[in-house]
Amino acid sequence: EAAVTQSPRSKVAVTGGKVTLSCHQTNNHDYMYWYRQDTGHGLRLIHYSYVADSTEKGDIPDGYKASRPSQENFSLILELASLSQTAVYFCASRGGFQAPLFGEGTRLSVL
């Protein structure tokens, strides 16, 4: 069964600390995405990737890095977490023009 698994599901981080959010897909999809969801802003694209070892900037990349070491894994890295990065983060994978399949989300609180 197609799946996108995110870890951790929730995290509390301190301001200035490093945070890594992980995403794993078993769908053999080429595309992977990181979205951020805030109340009143819908989903905004942070970074995406269409092949291993390559990432692209989305619409709001500042303060985030991404890493795609393999087709199955896509990480989002906050080198210096800030209060404004408190949000719910969703990873998604997509094959061709199929509908993206979303993970369960990671709720990040930066204190």
Residue ranges that bind another protein, judged by CB under 8 A: 30-31, 33, 35, 40-45, 48, 50, 56, 58, 90, 94, 97-105
Please state the closest distance from residue 49 (CB atom) to another protein, in A: 10
- Tell me how far apart the alpha carbons of residues 73 and 80 are, in angstroms, rounded to a whole number: 22
Please state the closest distance from residue 79 (CB atom) to another protein, in A: 24
For another protein, the closer of residues 75 and 89 by Cβ is 89
Q: Torsion-angle region of residue 24: left (phi > 0), alpha (psi -120 to 50) or beta?
A: beta
Instruction: Give Rg (Cα) of the chain.
Output: 13
Which element (helix H / strand E) includes 98?
none
Please state the closest distance from residue 36 (CB atom) to another protein, in A: 11
For another protein, the closer of residues 33 and 79 by Cβ is 33
Do the Cβ atoms of 66 and 74 come closer than 8 Å?
A: yes
What tokens appear for 6 in the block? 């995110």
Please state the closest distance from residue 22 (CB atom) to another protein, in A: 16
For another protein, the closer of residues 35 and 64 by Cβ is 35
What tokens appear for 28 in the block? 């053999």
For another protein, the closer of residues 14 and 88 by Cβ is 88
